[in-house]
Structure 1
């Protein structure tokens, strides 16, 4: 199998914040009853982090679990670990009502770093980007300009954004535009 290739070859832009398309990242959709002890045990064992609560993002480096909906989480891991993680989850959930799907190659991930991260995102999403509206560690599924996205703040000055791979170039373009040095409004 050929090696994984990131959608934009790790494109980067420095403006009000640094916008970087992250390289291939392992992403596994896990659907089922999120209160099921076997599902929680399997997901947390693979990711090495605790199961997040409602709208939560529990991450440690390249590993994590993102709450996506009442019956869905996104398990994050290094791309090289995806096949093993999918097999491990599938074996642990055998006979249970659950779905395990590798969606790594269908998504693009961007990192935003800098003191104006909230302001840059606020220009593109209808979601409340204030510290009260989106606390660090809380995930929001929303729109990024004209495309669906999920975003969360890893800390007060760093966010990650996931969108479909097919719109990665568009997403990078609007993030660059919102991060242009002359576009600051000083709201946050």
Structure 2
């Protein structure tokens, strides 16, 4: 069996913000009735969190549930726990209309950190990043590609994109974080 590797091998860049590929992360798409008792119970068992409200992410340690659409969640778990979590979700949702898919190897995760990290996203995403509330997730675009991001720390954001465009996204983040390309906000 081959060893799993992240899209870019943990590459990073330090400019006025630090951007880095965050490495392997277990990610599971779950679709179904988010208001059902079975879904609520399954998500709680898998993540330790409630089903998140619209445009929210609920985080419990190294696990999370993120709202992606009215019938879709992104479950985040340690990479090595993804397959077991898929099996547990399938069992918990058996008998209800649902879809559970391990998308860990189809996604790439990046962190943007530093006191001015939000400026990197401001350059790339059509989102009012400055008003992003704690626990809010945004599905949007980073330049020309689909992405989702949330504030993952006091001075840190986490961004998820498709693995197939990981090099492009890292290039965007690196360019947007270069010294001399800062936004001057008054």
Q: Same fold (TM over 0.5)?
A: yes
Q: TM-score range by the shorter chain?
A: over 0.9
Q: 1:52 deviation in Å?
A: 1.4
Query: Is 1:9 equivalent to 2:6 in the alignment?
Result: no
Counterpart position of 1:149: 147
CA distance in 2, matches of 1:69, 1:17: 30
Q: 1:60 deviation in Å?
A: 3.1
Does the aligned pair in 2 maintain the 1:119–1:186 contact within 8 Å?
no
Query: Is 1:139 equivalent to 2:137 in the alignment?
Result: yes
Aligned positions of 1:14-25 closer than 5 A: 14-25=14-25
Q: 1:16 deviation in Å?
A: 1.3
Q: 1:96 deviation in Å?
A: 0.5
Give the TM-score of the pair, scaled to structure 1. Answer: 0.95
Structure 2 unaligned blocks of 5 or more: none
Query: Is 1:73 equivalent to 2:73 in the alignment?
Result: yes
CA distance in 2, matches of 1:21, 1:70: 29
Give the TM-score of the pair, scaled to structure 2. Answer: 0.96
Q: 1:118 deviation in Å?
A: 1.2
- SS of residue paired to 1:30: strand
Q: 1:156 deviation in Å?
A: 3.9
Query: Is 1:89 equivalent to 2:89 in the alignment?
Result: yes
Q: 1:94 deviation in Å?
A: 0.6
Q: 1:33 deviation in Å?
A: 0.6
CA distance in 1, matches of 2:44, 2:144: 33
Superposed CA RMSD: 1.2
Counterpart position of 1:31: 31
CA distance in 2, matches of 1:127, 1:149: 12
Counterpart position of 2:43: 43
